[in-house]
Amino acid sequence: MPQDQDQTVERTLVLLKPDALVRGFGGKVITRFEEAALKIVGVKMKQMDAEFTRRHYFDLEERLGKEVYDFTSAFMQQGPVIALVLEGFDAIATVRKLVGSTYPNEAPAGTIRGDFSHYGKAASVASGKAVANLVHASGNKEEAKQEVELWFDKDELHDYRTLAEIFAC
């Protein structure tokens, strides 16, 4: 992150999950972030294996139980994901607001999950499958730091100025 920027400029991790890719929503989701003045400073596509999934969701089983972890792990390994590091003012809170509630049926219209997801909590429980909610977003500063470091080497993250930053007053 450029040294001369305000301390409220943050970096956060976003994953476009397999359901976002198979449904063809990758570009639409990324556009939402860019339209909110979030800058892409890292991007890659990856197929998560069991070991990497465990590293990413290291505390999920402890927090929500083995069944939830198993559903989530299987879901995340069913296809590739796109990992993004986004940067901007209050990026973590901004991304969480844009994404909407974990459960798509509880996410308001205008959020990514509210507009594009179709699979709610009840359907997940009834089917025994993970909630297909299109994206993962870091929940707080500590999680964002840990996730960015897990997914990206320092040389895979880029500093540049957008036109909006160049012409900002």
Pairwise CA distance, residues 131 & 117, whole Å: 9
**Residue from 56, 118, 136, 158 carrying the catalytic annotation:** 136
Task: Categorise residue 16: left if φ over 0, alpha if ψ from -120 to 50, beta otherwise.
Answer: beta
Residue pair 72/35 in contact by the 8 Å Cβ criterion: no
Active-site residue, 118 included = no
Q: What is the CA radius of gyration of the chain?
A: 16
Instruction: State how far the alpha carbon of 140 is from the alpha carbons of 11, 66, 148, 155, in Å.
Output: 10, 23, 12, 23
Contacts of 55 (CB under 8 A, 6+ apart): 150
Catalytic residue numbers read 136
